Amino acid sequence: MGTTAAVTFAMPYAVTPALLPALVDRDTFVGASVLGLVPLLLAGLVVLVKWWRGRDEMFDDLTPGLLPADPATAPRHRVRGGEWSGTVAPAFSPPREVRPGVLGTVLDGVADPHDVSATLVDLAVRGWFHIVEVRGPEGGQAHDKARDKARDWELRRTSADPDETPTDFERLLLDRVFDGRDRVRLSALKGSFAMTMREAQIGLYREVVDRGWYARHPRARNGRTRAAGLAVLVPLVLVALVLVVTGLAQAHDWSLTPVLVGLVAALVVLARWGGARTPRTAEGTALRIEALGFREYLATAEADRLRFEEKRALLSGYLPYAVAFGLTAHFADLLRDLARESHWADYVDGLDWYDFGGSGPDGGDLSLGDALGDIADTSSWFTDPGDVFDGVDGFVDASDSLFSFHGLPGCGDGCDLPGCDLPGCDLPGCDLPGCDF
């Protein structure tokens, strides 16, 4: 009869939880994965709805850029892709009764420095003040490398206001620039114009809303839904993080990790894409398409293909629009080409709004019109039309710099100080007077 010997093996060391492999409970993991998908799907649904509602409107069965006989009752639809992006035909004139700064704001939904500078140039062209280039050794807004002299610009009110009524925004800008003075240097305004820039932005946004091109503030991001979602998700992420860390520390159990991953992913999606763009109305889309056509014309116009009437219009009224569209340099090149024509004097009516700052034969200031007219005379002292347009281009660059306040708090969109109640503006707002339309 045999004997069975029991053999025992002693563990060389005690097994501790820290040395066990990570544990996953299958049922818990599956449930946590499903639970983690819920906030991610909800965040995705919010983003989808925001995108759907953030698409521009457009009139049905109508050539893009045209208005129906009765826009208020005309059928309309949402534009696929957010905003209309078709091919535009060049338009040879700007939309009627729409000023350059306002048109630039409708075009991209932002009241930026170009739009305010365009308004300044437009006011000068319309006769509210003259722009006089000042050059000398004593500092200024920009530096003239060719002459090794500083450049500045002086704005001088005309003796009598034009026979027109400026908009509220234009009147505000005139009042803030001159502040009871008849003359002011552009360089003297730098550093004191931050509040004016905000008020100017508000004025531009007010007009595009009042005229029906946007239903609410163009820079409103519909942030209430996003803010509410983040207010819920952040605490849940913290709770999930505590549970996962506790499970890993005590039992190496990471079954709840999918919940944390889903909450974090939902938080990122909502924070990044939870605010929708403000859509244009169908009227706003039509105006934007018309503006794109006019921008295309200015961007592609060539001197030798322009008709006489177009050449006069370019100088009398189109320059401010080129500023608003960011085409100042190209436009200046086009005007230089036109200035070299032998009959240029025929086109220079109404160009007394800019004084080149040089001295003519009589020792007086040289207006833009005089300078361009003198080009036709080979005996004139003035031989380089680029000088004039470099001056205009320099003024635009300097005024853009004046109205640009990147990096300063509260200067982003005219609606970023406490108290702004612009329609649809749920960003931190502004408490400026009149910011309650």
Residue-wise pLDDT for 110-156, tens only, equals 888 889 889 999 999 999 999 988 875 444 444 444 444 467 889 99
Q: How confident is the model at residue 22 (pLDDT cuts 50, 70, 90)?
A: low
- Residue 154 vs residue 192, higher pLDDT: 154
pLDDT at 312 over 90: no
Taking 3-state DSSP, the helix, strand and coil percentages for the chain, each rounded to the nearest 5, stand at 50, 10, 40
The β-bridge relationship of strands 129-136 and 354-359 is parallel
**Is the CB of residue 420 less than 8 Å from the CB of residue 429?**
yes
Q: At 390, give phi and psi (nearest 5°).
A: -60, -35
Secondary structure E strands in 28-182: 57-59, 76-78, 129-136, 142-144, 149-157
* Other residues' Cβ atoms within 10 Å of the Cβ of residue 52: 11
Q: At 129, give phi and psi (nearest 5°).
A: -160, 165
Tokens found for residue 328: 């100042």
Mean pLDDT of the region 393-410: 64
d(CA 389, CA 328): 10
Find the helix or strand (DSSP H, E) in which 367 lies: strand 365-367
* Other residues' Cβ atoms within 10 Å of the Cβ of residue 50: 19
Mean pLDDT of the region 205-214: 93
d(CA 315, CA 369): 10
Say how many CA atoms lie within 13 Å of 185 toward its Cβ.
Answer: 13
d(CA 327, CA 320): 10
- Residue 411 vs residue 116, higher pLDDT: 116
**Is the CB of residue 64 less than 8 Å from the CB of residue 84?**
yes
Q: What is the mean pLDDT of the chain?
A: 76
The DSSP code for 149 is E
The β-bridge relationship of strands 76-78 and 57-59 is antiparallel
Determine the straight-line distance between the first and last CA of the chain, rounded to whole angstroms.
107
Model-wide pTM > 0.75: no
